[in-house]
Amino acid sequence: MRIGVMGGTFDPVHHGHLVAASEVQARFDLDRVIFVPTGQPWQKSSRAVSAAEDRYLMTVIATASNPRFSVSRVDIDREGPTYTVDTLSDLKKQYPDADLFFITGADALEQILSWKRAADAFELAHFIGVTRPGYTLNDRHLPPGSVSLVEVPAMAISSTGCRARTASGQPVWYLVPDGVVQYIAKTGLYSES
Ligand code: ATP
Ligand code: MG
């Protein structure tokens, strides 16, 4: 089995994430892609991240219609900050015979060497960096052959942008799936109070 692993804060999940996962699924002939919302994210400690349960539910809503997509609770059910190496080793325990493909934005790839036990993470999975068309990766320090790049067309969408739009009363229709628009409205997430 070939399994894609898409880690993220998903605050909220948006069509950039979904397009990237779909593109990598097709390109690498993956049997499934597992979205893994982070626990308390250590790289974003400067801002309050929404409750894990809200981020998890939005990710479930967003992925529900795709039979190859699913959502894992491994990171939100683990105590403490999320490290990719822990995500990958937990999934490897669940799927011992699978080949894992970790999907990440190229922005995050460049910080990868600062990750806890980066070398172990490269042992556990092949890494796929999703980029804007025309982007070239500064990969001097990455282990040779451990990273592939895939261009995706929807890179201009970000969770930061979706939160800012909601806070200022602008629509996020078509930037995130319809069910996520409705979930945000229903819960009042991101609206300034
Ligand atoms: P924020 O704006 O809060 O940083 P984000 O939009 O970058 O959020 P994350 O949850 O941080 O979303 O991203 C999860 C993963 O998806 C990361 O690897 C990130 O690089 C990647 N990603 C984010 N936005 C896009 C996009 N538009 N297209 C492809 N990949 C993306
Ligand atoms: Mg980001």
User: What is the whole-number distance in angstroms between the Cα of residue 108 and the centre of ligand 2?
Assistant: 8
The string over 152-176, giving b where at least 16 C-beta atoms fall within 10 Å of a residue's C-beta and e elsewhere, is bebbebebeebbebbeeeeebeebb
Please tell me the predicted confidence (pLDDT) of residue 147.
Answer: 85
pLDDT score for 111:
76
Identify the band that residue 107 occupies on the pLDDT scale cut at 50, 70 and 90: confident
Report whether residue 35 contacts ligand 1, using a CB cutoff of 6 Å. Answer: no
Instruction: Assign 69 to helix, strand or coil.
Output: strand
Q: 105 CB less than 6 Å from ligand 1?
A: yes
The yes-or-no verdict on residue 10 having pLDDT over 90 is yes
Token pair belonging to 151: 């261009």
Q: Which domains does the chain have, with CATH numbers?
A: 2-154 (3.40.50.620)
- Say which amino acid occupies 118: A
